[in-house]
Structure 1
Amino acid sequence: MPVLMVFLGGMVGAPVRFLVDRAVQRRHDGVFPWGTFVINTTGSFVLGALGAAAVHHGLGADLSLLLGTGVCGGFTTFSTFSYETVRLMEDGSLAEAGLNAVGSLALGLAAAALGFALLTWV
C-alpha cells in the first residue's frame, strides 16, 4: 500500500509541476528559472505543513505518503533546480545562478518552517 500511495501522489504532482512551471515561466522574461523557484518554494511550504499535520494533528501514514512523498515529491524538483543553476553559470549569468542557489535554499527553508509553524498553531 505505501508504494501505491507514493505512485498515485507522484502521478498528480509531476504533471502539476509541469503546468505550473509553464504558467509561471510564460509570465517572466529573462534567464531566471522562476517556475522552478516558485514550485520548490511552494512545495517546501506544503511539505512543512504536512509535517506539522502529521506530528500535531494525526495525519495518517498513508495520507502522509500520498501527499508528502508522492504529490510533493513529484511536484518539487531538486534535479531541475541543479540543472538550471549550472545552465545559468555556463551562460555567464553568475548573479542569477547565485540568486537561484542561495534564494532557493533560503526561501525553501523559510517556507517549510512557515508551513510547519502555521499548521502547528492551527
Structure 2
Amino acid sequence: MRVVFGIAIAGFLGAVSRYEISLLVPSAGEAAFPWATLIVNLSGSFLLGALFGVVSRRSMPAWLVESVGTGFLGSFTTFSAFNGQLWELCQHRAYLGAAAYVLLSGLGGWLLASAGLAYGRGKHS
C-alpha cells in the first residue's frame, strides 16, 4: 500500500510540475516549437537515468524508487504530448521543426539519460 500511496502523491507532484513548466515556457501558437515539452522530456530523461544510477550503487526502498520513477517522472514526462505536438508540427508543414524535435527529443533524451546514469553512479568527478 505504501508503494501505491507514494506513486499517487509523486504522480500528482510530477503532473503539477509539468504544468508549471508549461506556464514558464509559453507556446507561440499551434505550429510553434514545443519547447516546454522538450525541456520536460529531456530533464526527465536525465533524472530517470540519475535515479537508476543511484539505485545501481546503493540500496533504496522499493516504494521510494517506484514513487520517484513511476510516480513523479512518469507523470512529469510527456511522451503522449510529444506525439501530439509532433503531429501538430507536421499538420502545419513545419517539417524542419518536426525533424529537429524528434532528433532533439530522441538523441538528447538518450544522451541526458546516459549522463544521468553516470552521475547517479558517482562518475561525475
TM-score range, shorter chain: over 0.9
Q: Distance in 2 between matches of 1:121 and 1:85?
A: 35
Aligned partner of 2:50 in structure 1 is: 49
Aligned partner of 2:101 in structure 1 is: 100
- Contact 1:47–1:68, Cα closer than 8 Å, also in 2: yes
Work out the number of aligned pairs and report it: 121
- Contact 1:47–1:115, Cα closer than 8 Å, also in 2: yes
Kindly provide the amino acid, as one letter, of the partner of residue 121 in structure 2.
T
Aligned partner of 2:86 in structure 1 is: 85
Offset, 1:58? 1.4
Q: Distance in 1 between matches of 2:39 and 2:103?
A: 14
- What pairs with 1:1-122 in structure 2 (closer than 5 Å)? 1=1, 2-25=3-26, 31-121=32-122
Give me the TM-score of the superposition, normalised by structure 1: 0.92
Question: More helix per residue: 1 or 2?
Answer: 1
- Displaced runs of 4+ in structure 1, greater than 3 A? none
3-state DSSP of counterpart to 2:22: helix
Offset, 1:118? 0.9
Offset, 1:66? 1.1
Unaligned runs of 5+ in 2: none
Give me the TM-score of the superposition, normalised by structure 2: 0.90
CA RMSD of the aligned region, Å?
A: 1.6
Unaligned runs of 5+ in 1: none
Q: Distance in 1 between matches of 2:22 and 2:40?
A: 7
Kindly provide the amino acid, as one letter, of the partner of residue 113 in structure 1.
S
Offset, 1:108? 0.5
Q: Distance in 2 between matches of 1:102 and 1:59?
A: 34
Q: Distance in 2 between matches of 1:4 and 1:25?
A: 32
Percent identity over the alignment is: 31
Q: Distance in 2 between matches of 1:23 and 1:61?
A: 33
Offset, 1:102? 1.5
